[in-house]
Amino acid sequence: MPSYIPEIEDVLPILQTARRFLVIGCSGGGKSTLSRKLSAKLNLPYISMDRDFFWLPGWVKRPKVEEGVLIAASVAQDRWIMDGSGPSSFDLRFPRTDLVIWVRLPRLVCLWGLVCRVASSFGRVRPDMAPGCPEQLPDREFLSYIWNFEQRISPVIVNMLDRHAPDMPVLTLKSRRDIDALTESVQEFANVR
């Protein structure tokens, strides 16, 4: 069973030595924003599942075989921070990860995050999205994904952690305040790395 870290302060020793971080969670929760901030503070290459693996220009889904090859090559690198919750590649990503940061915010907070994201980025390509994939209005399927994430996807994540990373340290962030506290805590030793 993974080692769930109870407090943000308890993760600091792991943050000092970890070289590969996986940030997971529901869309709209802020995992990409957190990943970019941690990437800058820890001087780690940032890998976005959406930008680097999933999407081709025009919102065309990349073929699964090609996606898997790209993911395998990326996780083989020595240092990175990667955001994305796609369970189909956890078998590749979890064994190479030193720390999982699970952004596990309530669904209403995630839906509000999506509203804010669409309002600020509509028609433009976000930094964590593939070229040629401008922000668009969410469809019913995507809203349903967010609404049902905790019920449908979280149990899969727990199962995959148990299967592929039984000793993995996992920090769960349950609020925007937790996310801010982690970001601030990382600043303390960011220049040491």
What angle, 0 to 180 degrees and rounded to 10, lies between the N-to-C axes of helices 8-17 and 176-187? 40
Is the domain 3-187 a CATH 3.30.420.40 member? no
Which tens digit of pLDDT belongs to each residue from 71-127?
999 999 999 999 999 899 999 999 999 999 999 999 999 999 999 999 999 999 999
For residue 137, the number of C-alpha atoms closer than 13 Å in the C-beta half-sphere is: 2
Residue in the structure block whose two tokens are 């915010």: 105
Residue-wise pLDDT for 3-59, tens only, equals: 899 899 999 899 889 999 999 999 999 999 999 999 999 999 999 999 999 999 999
CB 44 within 8 A of CB 79: yes
Is this structure's pTM higher than 0.75?
A: yes
Cβ atoms of residues 171 and 186 within 8 Å: no
Query: Residue 189 above 70 pLDDT?
Result: no
Which residue ranges make up each domain of the chain?
A: 3-187
Q: Is the Cα torsion angle 4, 7, 10, 16 positive or negative in sign? A: positive
